Amino acid sequence: MSRLSDHAAPSRRAVLQGASVAGGGLLLGFSLPRAAKAQTASASGVFAPDAFIRIGRDDRVTLIMSQVEMGQGIHTAIPMILAEELDVPLSQVTTEEAPPNDKLYGNPIFYIQMTGGSTSVRALFMPMRKTAAAARAMLVTAAAQTWGVDAAACRTEAGAVIHDASGSRLGYGALVDAASVVPRPESPVLKDPKTFKLIGTPAKRLDTPDKVNGKAVFGIDALPDGVRFATLASCPVFGGTLGACDEKAALAVPGVRQVVKLDTLVAVVADHMWAAKLGLAALDIQWNDGPHAALSSVDLWGAIGKASEADGVTAQKIGDVDAALKGDGVITASYELPLLAHATMEPMNCTVHVTPDSCEIWVGIQVMTKAQRIAAAITGLPPEKITIHNHLIGGGFGRRLEEDGVGVAVRIAQHVDGPVKVVWTREEDIQHDMYRPVYRNVMGGRVENGKLVAWTHRVVGPAIIARYLPPAFKNGIDVDAVDGAIDLPYDIPHLRVDYVRHEMAGVPTAFWRGVGPNSTIFAAESFIDKLARQAGSDPLTFRRGLLAKNPRGLATLDLAAQKAGWGGALADRTGRGIAFQFVMGSFVATIAEVAVADDGVVTVKHITSAVDCGTIINPDTVVAQIQGGLIFGLTAASHGEITIERGRVQQSNFHDYRMLRINEVPTIAVHLVPSNEAPGGIGEPGTVAAMPAVANAIYAATGVQIQRMPIDPTLLAKKRSA
Amino acid sequence: MQTLHINGDTHQLDVPADMPLLWVLRDVLKMTGTKFGCGIAQCGACTVQLDGKPARSCMLPVGSLGDQAVTTIEAIGATPEGARIQKAWLKAEVVQCGYCQSGQIMSATALLKAVPKPADADIDAAMAGNICRCGTYIRIREAIKQAAQS
Amino acid sequence: MRTIKILMGLACLVAVVGIGFIAWTVLGRDPIHFAKGPRVTLAAYTGPSVTGAPPDLAHADLVMRGEYLTRAADCQACHTTDGGVPFAGGRAFKLPFGTLFSPNITPDQATGIGAWSDAEFLRAVHKGVGRGGKPLYPAFPYAAYTLLTDDDVLAIKAYLFSVKPIHAVAPENTLVFPFNQRLLMTVWSAMFDADTRFEPVADRAPEWNRGAYLVEAAGHCGECHSPRNLFQAIDNRKKFAGAVADGWRAYNISSDKPTGIGSWSEAQLASYLTNGHAAGRGSPAGPMREAVDMSLAHLTPGDVKAVVAYLRTVPPIADPALPATLAGPAPASAAKGPDGNPHGKALFAGACASCHDWTGSGALTANATLTGARAVNDPSAVNVVQMILTGNHDLVGKTQAYMPAFGPAYTDLEVADLANYVTARFGTAGRPIGPADVARFRQLR
Ligand code: FES
Ligand code: FES
């Protein structure tokens, strides 16, 4: 029986050996048993060879989508893979949201039903092909049996089986009943990639037409009959609780129906959001701030600085770094990243209807089964009594890998008679996020005769994995925090990567687009430029020297350099900077060009990225994701920082937690490297690339290296004497 | 009682005069194409048009609308500029998550109406109030130019 | 002998000059001196009462009347921290020579005024002398409050004693020498606190006198709007000619037509004071916003009329720093208007145009109108910068007009560029301000 996990991408060993690099990134394991059991019953008139594919007598192919759409184009890419291997036109495929079921729909990389970590295509490419190839083989067998011919003499095309010799042709719909009784082949023959007609061609996305006319339904648009609207205020200090709150003032607001008071929050339920907001504003709420009432950002930086003095756990070791560090030419530096909020455009929301024996949830979430489990735990209902309608997501970026919002909404809904839509205001969304943690990277290295001989990288930060996916937290190492650091694409003879786990009490942390590599690659690529300078080498030449054994990486870097015109003349206080990375299974070489004004204001003028993400499913989506990812990273580099004062998040909305706007973005050119290697992820690498590329360009333009994000222009102002 | 003219229909609604149009559209009229993003006129997700001019509905009290005609994303395709923008949007494959796109399209349509052949500076001025967290700006620029050409 | 004579002559001269100087400064302390006219005591004034709560509250109890007067005197603004419990004190006043903190005036026995007698309260409000004879700093406007009648002061006390007692101790003042010497205040009071109750002008209408009482005794408008003399006392010779207070420019509210409020209509004045907006004149912000929200908006229409009637009689004084004409609406097209400041324009496009519109006429609510507002027509751009830094929030109008504070996330350079663009597009561009100016404004807060 086919298991998706049997076919997921190879391990990072291959990466570390520098050969045939195909996997990489956050790959946690692929051996968890999962059933994709054939349900070959024809009574329903549907051919359903497994949990993913259903073909009806009307020729419609339905793909049960385990992955959610949040802008990354997965509701087009996976159908493309299926359509290719099944040999049907893309237009014949309809998608249907998978119900929560880890066994059937678990992401082979994460064990659970989850969309994240730029893993969807990586995890599902081969399994989906294999499952479609099996279905195709069964349809061919069914047709051959019907015609009494040899199956080997039949072929498929555009949703039909064809026997050329006799000129016979049967559409898949006509074969539904016959195919349902054909045994499923153990190892179906896959198409030769050379014959791909769909994969690798720019397909129009299937989810976009409804997104330009207002018809697309996001979680926040759910309107079950009789729904009421609620908004909430949570204790402004994490870990604090609700004190006194007289509900009278809110109930006096026309349209307010109810005030729900829970241990840590107050919600006002009303006929519409406006009344709910006014009701909440009218309340005089007393909070018990709890143990973190005095926390400040200064404390956070101080604590992580102290923590970084410890040795930590060794996560990667090559050669004898201690010996190699002896001698002249040793340099050190540290690189730090601040707290960040996700600030998805669709604010947090969840609609819930709780009855004594059921719980129905309307939401857009990256983790269906986790949502189901938290609702079950809160209501005490068995999981099968929890119905979840998953929706389009107005931006995930890791925020909706967390089910905390579902939990809050269910707890509120338990007190409400009928369905209630809980919508976080933007202020509440930003101040009660789960944040990208503060990270600190301490780097050391030694250059000898212009060559990099030793490299140490100490990653300091919380272990999100330990909370999120405990089985993956092994030997005290957070594989996400050190991702990118332990599998550098460079050939460095002596290397050690350590991890110091440092949790931040009082600030909940979570994954954020680009995850661990945002910190490790910013540090590593910035430090490479520092070492290059030490070696008296050009940043491109220096990197090329480290990539001699990595032809894919080298080709990607060279493509970017050539397209960006590396080495070409630049004006005063203008510079180009490189970021090169192998994360999430993709090589990305990025070159940013910046101009730094005398007053320190940085203008990112142009970004060139070359991308080798292995087999490309939808090239247009790859380009779009790299563009968007870069801009996401530029926002962080330019403006991104959440600060804490008196235990409270200081930022509240887009005026003080700024997003890059259209008049702040550079031009961006993305160049794709054709490849038949296993596909890599593309949702996050752009974000990872932006920060080091820009920082290195600033370094080139001014000689000042940015060592803490976001960029502080006052460090870059031209000295008066200069 | 407020009288609103929306997409060619007239509605008599018993809502407070200070209630922002956004919530009237979404929660009372169940027209959810117009999105909530910030509530303080900083993101543009809630953009509608008043007599063809873009307006952030999240801070627009319905009592101040008077006779102005409100157009929302649900009906913008019926205007010549709206149809051109929507077409260009799909051609350039602008959209990612799509959440900001109602607002982007309403702003872009208003721009095209006011400035039929917008230059980059016009696009910057008209579109800078619309945030896209997915970072579709590069393609928004392209699509507006395409629509202007068509 | 001759030398002695000369010396004596000189001494006399110094004494005369000194006395004259003191007299001159002290004489400047009568706020309604400009009205000339014969003054009478309240008892001798014929016609309806010009003090106390308005006739609308004639039958209200003492606490309610006290509440009205507390609002008219705007006690809450100074005695409350941002987001803090009303009257619990602790608000910081940053002065060039240190920081003062307002005390707790809730009836808490230990930390508030719960143990104060009527006489003690009257002495504090009229003479600036606190409990136990401690001289008070004139940040507490007792030189104005001294005009309040005993009845009115005690009504205020009755109201304050009706609010919930809060245990709260204000932080210690951080004044430098010699300003930390409270005794100096005794000298100051002797010179600048007349310690007399309000005396109406006999030949003026009751409405005018009522307005004078509200503006001068309770409202203490001059504290912000009048220039100060060498001793930081109000200089009523330049009455209402405008000054800087709390880092904001309190504009000229004399009847000067070009630079004061002489050309405002009565309706505009009334609307500005009570609705927080006047068509064609902009909206109050900063300390004036507080005065509107906490005080002026709560006045009865009759009292507002009285305030307006009085204000209009204040003699005109021109402010040479302000342009004589206000700029008209800006062009509707973003492409038109000032160029040469692309950075400022880009910021305006992103964060401001959605509300203010490229014309400045307010895209969503009239409160966001920039056209005609004094702040954008002030070449110093002080209030524009302050608005950008701190934002604004209409608490009285139900217009939900709201401007976020951009200060925390925008750099000094960005704020400067933006302010320069705003004054250039919507007003009379003056000397462009720079990041150092913005940094200074931030310090003032
Ligand atoms: S929701 Fe109206 S501008 Fe953001
Ligand atoms: S497309 Fe996602 S926010 Fe714009």
Model pLDDT, residue A35: 36
Dihedral-angle region of residue A565 (phi above 0 means left; psi in -120 to 50 means alpha; beta otherwise): left
Could you tell me which residues are beta bridge partners of residue A642?
A339
Q: Is the CB of B133 under 6 A from ligand 2?
A: yes
Among all bound ligands, the one having the nearest atom to the CA of B60 is 1
Whether residue A214 lies inside any domain: the answer is no
- CA closest to A224 among chain B residues: B30
Fold classification of C206-311 (topology level) = Cytochrome Bc1 Complex; Chain D, domain 2 (1.10.760)
DSSP symbol at A339: B
| Nearest CB to C364 within list B41, B44, B125 | B41
What pLDDT, on the 0 to 100 scale, is given for residue A2? 32
From the CA of B133, give the closest atom in ligand 2. 3
Q: How far apart are CA A481 and CA C69, in angstroms?
A: 62
Residues B56-64: what's their mean pLDDT? 96
Q: What is the pLDDT of residue C2?
A: 67
Q: How far is the C-alpha of B73 from the C-alpha of A362, rounded, in Å?
A: 23
Do the domains at C206-311 and C342-443 have one common CATH topology?
Answer: yes
Torsional sign, CA A267, A270, A274, A275 = negative
Residues C128-152 pLDDT 10s: 999 988 888 888 999 999 999 999 9
What's the confidence (pLDDT) of residue A42? 45
Q: Does residue A429 lie in a domain region?
A: no
CATH placement of domain C342-443: 1.10.760.10
Q: Give the pLDDT confidence of A412-466 residue by residue, as tens digits.
A: 999 999 999 999 999 999 999 999 999 999 999 999 999 999 999 999 999 999 9
Has residue A211 been placed in a domain? Answer: no
Residue carrying the six token digits 């002249």: A328
Given the structure tokens 């702003």, which residue do they identify?
B107
Q: pLDDT tens, A282-327? A: 999 999 999 999 999 999 999 999 999 999 999 999 999 999 999 9
> In terms of residue numbers, what domain contains A134?
4-206
Residue A14 clears pLDDT 80, i.e. is over it: no
> For each of chain C's 445 residues, which pLDDT tens digit applies?
566 777 677 676 677 666 666 665 566 778 998 998 899 999 999 889 999 999 999 899 999 999 999 999 999 999 999 888 999 999 998 887 889 999 999 999 999 999 999 999 999 999 999 998 888 888 899 999 999 999 999 999 999 999 999 999 989 998 888 878 877 777 777 778 788 899 999 999 999 999 999 999 999 999 999 998 878 888 988 999 999 988 899 999 999 999 999 999 999 999 999 988 999 999 999 999 999 999 999 999 999 999 999 999 999 999 999 998 899 999 999 999 998 999 999 999 999 999 999 999 988 888 899 999 999 999 999 999 999 999 998 776 666 678 999 999 999 999 999 999 999 999 986 788 999 999 998 887 6
Q: Looking at the structure, do residues A512 and A384 belong to the same domain, yes or no?
A: no
Same domain, A593 and A502: yes
Neighbours of chain B (3+ CB pairs under 8 A): A, C
Chains that touch A (3 or more CB pairs under 8 A): B, C
Domain total in chain A:
3
C331 touches chain A (CB under 8 A): no
Note the residue count of chain A: 722
Long-range Cβ pairs for the range A153-159 (8 Å, 24+)? A156/A86, A156/A87, A157/A87, A158/A87, A158/A88, A158/A89, A159/A59, A159/A61, A159/A87, A159/A88, A159/A89, A159/A92
Supply the pLDDT for residue A12. 32
Which chain B residues contact residue C343 at CB under 8 A? none
* CA A428/CA A275 separation, integer angstroms: 17
More confident residue, A31 or A337: A337
B128, C353: Cβ pair inside 8 Å?
yes
Closest approach atom of ligand 1 to CA B35: 1
* Pocket of ligand 2 contains residue B132 by CB under 6 Å: yes
Do A607 and A695 reside in the same domain of the chain? yes
Distance (angstroms) between ligand 1 centre and the Cα of A393 equals 18
CA C257, CA C264: separation in Å to the nearest integer? 8
The contacts of residue C370 (CB under 8 Å, 6+ apart) are C282, C356, C360, C361, C362, C376, C422, C426, C427
What whole-number distance in Å separates Cα of residue C409 and Cα of residue A652?
Answer: 11
- Does ligand 2 lie within 6 Å of residue B131's CB atom? no
Same structural domain, A353 and A238: yes
Q: Decide which of A206, A230, A248 is a domain's last residue.
A: A206
Query: Is the predicted pLDDT of residue A9 greater than 90, yes or no?
Result: no
Confidence of residue A1 (pLDDT cuts 50, 70, 90): very low
Same-domain check for residues A383 and A508: no
Does the CB of C136 have a partner CB in chain A at under 8 Å? no
Residue labelled with tokens 């004078």: C212
Bridge partners (DSSP) listed for residue A218: A392
Residue A381, domain member (yes or no): yes
Lowest mean pLDDT among A234-238, B124-128, C440-444: C440-444
The CB of B70 under 6 Å from ligand 1? The reply is: no
A165 compared with A17, residue with greater pLDDT? A165
Mutate to test the pocket of ligand 1, among B24, B26, B34, B46 (most ligand atoms within 8 A of CB): B46
Tell me, what's the pLDDT at A6?
A: 34
Joined tokens for residue A7: 């076919």
CA C142 to centroid of chain Cα atoms = 14
* Residue at A144: amino acid letter: A
Domain ranges of chain C: 2-30, 55-192, 206-311, 342-443
- Set out the domains of chain B in order of their start, with CATH numbers: 2-75 (3.10.20.30), 76-149 (1.10.150.120)
Taking 90 as the threshold, does the pLDDT of residue A195 lie above it? yes
- Would you say residue A361 has pLDDT above 90? yes
Residue A10, preceding bond cis, omega within 30 degrees? no
pLDDT at position A23: 30
Sign of torsion, CA A525 A528 A533 A538? negative
What is the interface pTM, i.e. ipTM, of the complex? 0.92
* B45 C-alpha to ligand 2 centroid (Å): 9
Residues A240 and A189 in one domain: no
Residue A565 has pLDDT above 90, yes or no: yes
Instruction: Indicate the burial class of A286 (C-beta count within 10 angstroms; 0-12, 13-18, 19 or more).
Output: exposed
Q: Quick one: DSSP state of residue A688?
A: H
- The pLDDT value recorded for residue A719 is 75
Scanning C276-427, the segments in alpha helix (DSSP H) are 286-290, 301-311, 342-347, 353-356, 382-390, 412-426
Q: Judge if A163 and A49 occupy the same domain.
A: yes
- pLDDT 10s digits, A632-648: 999 999 999 999 999 99
- Residue A470 falls inside a structural domain: yes
- Both A254 and A329 in one domain: the answer is no
Pair A274, A304 in one domain: no
pLDDT confidence of residue B131:
98
Contact B59 C364 (CB under 8 A): yes
Beta carbons of C87 and C163 less than 8 angstroms apart: yes
The residue among A184, A206, A228 that closes a domain is A206
Report which residue type is found at A619.
P
Mean of pLDDT over chain B: 97
Instruction: Convert A26-49 to b/e letters by CB count within 10 Å (16 or more is b).
Output: bbbbbebebebebebeeeeebbbb
Nearest Cα neighbor of C91 from C99, C83, C101, C76 is C101
Same domain, A613 and A645: yes
Is A569 in the same domain as A639? yes
Residue type, C149: T
Residue C444: per-residue pLDDT: 73
Bond prior to A710 in cis (omega within 30° of 0): yes
Task: Take residue A637 and report the two structure tokens written for it.
Answer: 């580099």
Say if B64 is an interface residue toward chain C (CB within 8 Å): yes
Q: What integer best gives the mean pLDDT of chain A?
A: 91
Of A150, A176, A206, which closes a domain?
A206
Residue A326: CATH number of its domain? 3.30.365.10
Mean pLDDT of A606-634: 97
CB-based contact (8 Å) between A326 and chain B?
Answer: no
- Reduce the DSSP state of residue A177 to 3 states and report it: helix
Q: Are residues A276 and A134 in the same domain?
A: no
pLDDT of residue A3: 32
**Three-state SS at C237:** helix
Domain assignment of residue A683, yes or no? yes
Residue A430 lies in a domain: no
